[in-house]
Amino acid sequence: MGTAENLLEVRGLKKSYARGGGVFAEGGGVRFAAVDGVSFDLARGETLAIVGESGCGKTTLARMVLRLIEADAGEMRFAGEDLRAAGGEKLRALRRRMQMVFQDPFASLNPRMRIGEIVGEPLAIHEARLASGERRERVAAMLGRVGLEADAMRRYAHEFSGGQRQRIGIARALILRPQLVVADEPVSALDVSVGAQVLLLLQELQSELGLTYLFISHSLPVVAQIATRVAVMRAGRFVEVGAAEQVLARPEHAYTKELVAAVPAG
């Protein structure tokens, strides 16, 4: 660990839960590993896609990386810093450098807040001394960058389509200029063509802003559009990791071959 070009380094990450999640499982209940010893490096500027079927542990992994849930075991380094050991002000500082784009743009935007407040909220929290006029300008510029009109600021989430809402979610994630963006199934709730446009936007923003992506999806065609590297996840483990072209075109692991064969041709 500790290579300068790696933004994120993860070793042996584990998280187990009580099977069934029941209250009686605590103490003596059967536990299972939702994430069972995952290791990977994420180089600056790349897009590592984690692909796997529903329930294989993708979201649990994403949430551990962002310290939204605590791992049971393993190591994580972000820009060389011990991410698991960080607390207090240190963690707060690290957190603003990594942001999440959620699967469900409908559920992740507060229906009672105007879009300007939603996108500006991270600035209000982390750059509280920013003058309100300047905050508005930063929000307006970011909304413009994701393809929304300036009057979106005054409107509410329900007034927008699914694709537009995901653009709002992206604007909110990027307003603090993070280095790492963890996108958990960001286009799964969208129609294919709308999702493809959002993927294109994510790619443009990546090269403009020098972003590094950890991109989670259950869809191989989506992964093929955006990933530079692919990790195939099954039952809490990575079964195959490699360059996207290699993993998708010449899979080595039997499970990856099954996934690739299951994608309808065309």
Ligand X SMILES: Nc1ncnc2c1ncn2[C@@H]1O[C@H](COP(=O)(O)OP(=O)(O)O)[C@@H](O)[C@H]1O
> Would you count residue 54 as binding ligand X (CB under 6 A)?
yes
> Would you count residue 31 as binding ligand X (CB under 6 A)?
no
CB 176 within 8 A of CB 99: yes
Best CA proximity match to 112, nearest among 158, 173, 160: 158
Among ligand X, Mg ion, none, what binds residue 67 when CB lies within 5 to 8 Å by partner kind?
none
Of the two residues 46 and 185, which places its CB atom closer to Mg ion in the complex? 185
| Helix and strand element counts for the chain (H, E) | 9, 10
Member of 6, 59, 212, 217 binding Mg ion (CB under 5 A): 59
Can you tell me which residue has the tokens 């990575």?
Answer: 238
> Would you count residue 234 as binding ligand X (CB under 6 A)?
no
> Would you count residue 17 as binding ligand X (CB under 6 A)?
yes
Of the two residues 34 and 142, which places its CB atom closer to ligand X in the complex? 34
User: Between the CA of residue 175 and those of 39, 100, 115, what are the distances in Å?
Assistant: 29, 12, 13
Tell which positions 176-205 bind ligand X, by CB under 6 A.
none
Inter-helix orientation angle 162-174/115-126, to 10°: 20
Q: For residues 163 and 79, give the distance between their C-alpha atoms in angstroms, rounded to a whole number.
A: 32
Member of 13, 42, 51, 60 binding ligand X (CB under 6 A): 60
- Residues in contact with ligand X by CB under 6 A are 17, 21, 34, 52, 54-60
Residues within the interface to Mg ion (CB under 5 A): 58-59
